[in-house]
Structure 1
Amino acid sequence: MNMFSKIEVDANDMPSLTAAFLARLSIEITPKQIEKVALLRDRLPQGTCVYVALIDPADLALQIEAVAAIRASGLEPVPHVPARFVRDRADLEHRLSALATGGRITQALVLGGGAPQPLGIYDAAIQLLETGLFEAHGVRKIGVAGHPEGNPDIIKARGEAALIDALKVKQAYLASQGIEGYIATQFLFEAGPVAYWAKGLRDHGITLPVHVGVPGPATIKTLVKYAAMCGVGNSARFIRKQALNVTKLLTVSSPDAFVENLAKLHFEKPELGIAAPHLYPFGGFDKLLDWVSSRMP
């Protein structure tokens, strides 16, 4: 619970529904953005989940330091643990021990990771989960990756069904260990693909709640850059279309309509399990936090 959770919800008032959904937010930083922890502490309610991405395996020590700083600030640290950046069981044991000691982690996001080749013996999130080391180090809630617009690398290598099968296996493992699970998605720009994908998950027996990646306010130029880097799919088409107009490149795009439509799905179609927004500060933390504050009553 946090100060946002006191928002009164009026089913007939879209701003209140949007604010109530946005109150469930989490946010993401990189290890090199550790100096932003103080800002997040001052601007977000205590207990807000702050994810610490690991894009470069060389940043592991910084990630461990950032996780400890987040915990010390009264926020909830959620480290990314990408399988392809873990060399072996001893490596995983070492990093989880360090994260547990300094950050007292109870939650983690366990991913396959985007590296073309694994650094060690793991290349899939389920391999890390099945070590049993997460629960041994006090982790009681685990997120796994979801791809509403597909994952080209996996689909090319193993077909689209592999994505569903992988989620089924991870869901079964988490349930067998009594670990609370959820899906954290790649960022995208429209709610329609999320609803369609979530319905497909439910049809296949996957019931994990979904935390949807939402890009914060940023210029069209910046959003196009991140969309290209991260392989975001069809929902980015309107961003790319705007980018064709050079005069619009520095126009700031805000996710108002996206978040409003996600809020509608959250409250009006609970069977889809659209649980929360996960915010990416592509346009800067101040801009993102100002936007969040402006949507709160």
Structure 2
Amino acid sequence: MNAPLSAAGLSPAQATAAFLRTASIEITPKQIEKLALLKDKLQPGCRVFIALIDANDLAAQIEATRQLKAAGFEPVPHVPARFVKDEADLRARIKALAEAGASTMLVLGGGAPEPIGQYDAAIQLLETGVFQANGVTRIGLAGHPEGNPDITKARGEAVLLEALQQKQAYLKAHGLQGFIATQFLFEAEPVAEWAKGLRAAGIDLPIFVGVPGPATIKTLVKYAAMCGVGNSARFIRKQAMNITKLLSVNTPDEFVAGLAQLHYARPDLGIAGPHLYPFGGFDKLFDWTGKVTG
């Protein structure tokens, strides 16, 4: 797979560095306290996703959106369907997020066991028309290269593909740009196979792949269990069996290099960039990105 890189004048190391420079990053509303560090380490215009893990953090998410926009970033707030009470609630929050500076949002079902209101799927939010009515022009959709245990156990793997097809069709019919942001995983091969299946099914949205930043094996095992990531997490769990490795730090160098190869050598797959999860903390993450990108 090195030939296309050579044709582009890039060595594998240069390709990895260039690919990593396109990364987006995910924070929680409370992590806006790290804004000065983000301004120091990230490029202006970088996409910063603002997760909503707790439904009670909405006001903090809106404030984080405002501060990120003012700092020159592109804020991308999460809008989980299971945290929305009704259409009035949806209208109020999308209006507030848009006024705070968000024109791109990630719309997803959300991981809450039970919805707090009348919605439990992203398509239900999209079909209200509330996003475009508030000037939102770009919608991100959640992707699951290794499945979503909450859905696949109950309804099967095909449901995820059908849901993506339905959401893509809605975006195209209403003139909205779209992209897919995936759950984090640890290996490039499952991403390639999954993306190949999406393209065969007519889904052509660009894909931003979730990459866990440097973290201890213990921390990664914890997040893998919480988020239900699948087969590629086995090597992390295997290392955790060795007590001497439990507190060693794992870095995603090989994973990002593999994704960069797919980006340059397999443009048909649409692997657009990495999406970083700072599970091990921002200091470890930015030390690592600085070394890789030079």
Is the pair's TM-score, using the shorter chain for normalization, greater than 0.5?
A: yes
Specify the alignment match of 2:117 in structure 1: 120
C-alpha distance in 2 between matches for 1:156 and 1:217 = 30
**Mind listing any 5+ residue stretches in structure 2 that lack a counterpart?**
1-6
- Please state how far the C-alpha of 1:12 moved relative to its aligned partner: 4.5
1:234 aligns with 231
TM-score between both structures, scaled by the size of structure 1:
0.95
Equivalent residue for 1:210?
207
CA deviation digits over 1:44-99, x for unaligned, max 9? 11000000000110111111111111111111100000000000111011111111
Partner Cα distance (1:181, 1:100) in 2: 17
- Could you say what the CA RMSD is over the residues aligned between the two structures, in angstroms? 1.1
Aligned to 1:95: 93
Alpha-carbon distance in 1 for matches of 2:284, 2:17: 17
TM superposition shift of 1:160: 1.2
1:42 is aligned to 2:40: yes
Q: 1:25 and 1:260 mapped to 2: Cα distance? A: 13
Cα deviation, 1:196-224, whole Å, max 9, x if unaligned, reads 00001111111111110000001111111
Q: Give the counterpart of 1:73 among 71, 74, 96.
A: 71
Give, as a single letter, the amino acid of the residue that structure 2 aligns with 1:60: L
Equivalent position amino acid for 1:65 in 2: E
Q: Give the Å deviation of 1:10.
A: 5.0
Structure 1 residue 240 displacement after superposition: 0.4
Q: SS at 2:40's partner residue?
A: helix
| Secondary structure of residue in 2 paired with 1:115 | coil
Matched, 1:186 2:183: yes
1:136 and 1:24 map into 2 onto residues whose CA distance is 29
1:54 is aligned, of 47, 52, 55, to 52
Provide Cα deviations, 1:95-128, integer angstroms capped at 9, x if missing partner.
11111122x1110000000111111111100010
How many pairs were matched up?
Answer: 288
**Structure 1 residue 136 displacement after superposition:** 1.2
SS in structure 1 of the partner of residue 118 of structure 2 = coil
**Aligned partner letter, 2:35:** V
Shift of 1:193: 0.4
Map 1:112-261 → 2, pairs under 5 A: 112-261=109-258
Check conservation: 1:38, 1:73, Cα contact below 8 A.
no
User: Normalising by structure 2, what TM-score?
Assistant: 0.96
8 Å CA contact 1:186, 1:213 repeated in 2: yes
Which residue in 2 is equivalent to 1:290?
Answer: 287
Please name the residue that 2:83 is paired with. 85
Aligned-partner residue type, residue 49 of structure 2: Y
CA distance in 1, matches of 2:27, 2:10: 35
CA distance in 2, matches of 1:139, 1:12: 36
1:275 correspondence with 2:272: yes
Question: 1:11–1:17: 8 Å Cα contact kept in structure 2?
Answer: no
2:4 paired residue number: none
Quote the Cα distance in structure 2 between the aligned partners of 1:50 and 1:106.
Answer: 12
- Equivalent pairs: percent with the same residue? 68
Distance 1:12 1:67 in 2: 36
